[in-house]
Amino acid sequence: MIIRKPINLELTQLSGQTSQPPWINVGDSFREVLMVNEKPVLFDVKQSGDYLDFNFTGDISKKEAIHSLNYIYDLDFDLNKFYNYLSNQAELEEMSEFCKGLRLFLANDPFECIISSICSANNSIKRWTKSIRDMKEKWGNNYFDYYYTFPDKSIIQDIYEDDNEELLFGDKPCGNNLKSCGVGYRAPYIKKASHIFTLEMDLSEISKMDYEEAFETILKVPGVGPKVADCILLYGFNFKEAFPSDVWIKRIVSHLYFDGKDINVSKVRDFGMDEFGDYAGYVQLYLFHYARMSGLMSKLK
């Protein structure tokens, strides 16, 4: 079954967005199990020309499957309109050539995005995605033999942080704790986030907030600074006005808009949100990959 909306599936999957790890690559397909209306569904998606070809296994309708994929791959976003916008900006006009078909890869599970984003801070894509995969295999639910959902927040809040805690209080061998998944110093942050969203905050309320309220709410979670908060809101809740900013985005924006001057990350974030408006999240995504794929990033090191 084909959804006739343009996408570069591989680029989108492997772009490092902190909504989730890439789906499992099997031949020319990407596969993952998702909970759709509380039912496990195994999706198999692949590239077909410029479009997404998919099959699914699970007790849902084709309409529900298409709705889920439309959301996760942001297929209702008008890429051609966005490319027209880029072509009218001197600093951005080349980006669509290097990133054609790149879309947001949105979270089916916002809580997974929160933990993924916390794990991504000061970390490589390879390491944080492995950590999330390990957490899924240790404590998630197994469906269709080899596919796991991300564990519920109420489960993670009761997991031991490290070997020492497990030895002191546990009755299982070492290796069944958060640090065994390679999360390092982030383990207490993950535990606290799980506690907060189990007992103190309702995740479903965040999408009902305006951006600034949602941003300030997410910042209350230990281990979440401005960049991680923006990632959570962009990839986990589809707030497209977010402009996640780190040292690399600072260097790129400084090069393109401020003659290479050293400006702080906070100013870059404000500039991106003001300058690009509802396109801010997409521009940030394209800026990073344009810089990486065009060779600009190597020049800015």
DSSP of 130-175 = HHHHHHHHHHS-EETTTEEPPPPHHHHTTSBSSHHHHHHH-SS-TT
- Structural domain boundaries of the chain? 2-98, 110-237, 247-300
Per-residue DSSP letter, 210? -
Q: Is the pLDDT of residue 173 over 70?
A: no
Task: Enumerate residues 6+ apart whose C-beta is below 8 A from 245.
Answer: 226, 227, 230, 253, 265, 266, 268, 269, 272, 284
Quote the pLDDT of residue 172.
Answer: 65
Give the pLDDT of residue 152: 95
So what's the pLDDT on residue 293? 86
The whole-angstrom separation of Cα 172 and Cα 71 is 40
CA atoms of 186 and 32, how far apart (whole Å): 26
- pTM assigned to the model: 0.95
What is d(CA 77, CA 13) in angstroms, rounded to the nearest whole number? Answer: 17
Average pLDDT, the chain: 94
The answer to whether 222 and 189 are in contact (CB under 8 A) is: yes
181 confidence band (pLDDT: 50, 70, 90): very high
* Rounded average pLDDT over 224-242: 97
pLDDT higher than threshold 80 for residue 15: yes
Least confident of 36-50, 99-113, 128-142, 287-301: 287-301
Of 136, 179, 227, 250, which is the active-site residue? 227
Instruction: Give CA–CA dist 148/38, Å, rounded.
Output: 14
Q: What percent of the chain has pLDDT over 70?
A: 99
pLDDT digits 0-9 by tens, 60-71: 999 999 999 999
Q: What is the pLDDT of residues 156-172, one digit of tens each?
A: 999 999 888 888 777 66
Is residue 227 part of the annotated active site? The answer reads yes
Q: What is the pLDDT of residue 294?
A: 86
Could you confirm whether domain 247-300 is CATH 1.10.1670.10?
yes
Architecture of domain 110-237: Orthogonal Bundle (1.10)
Least confident residue range of 15-29, 33-47, 151-165, 231-245:
151-165
Q: What fold is seen in the domain 2-98?
A: TATA-Binding Protein (3.30.310)
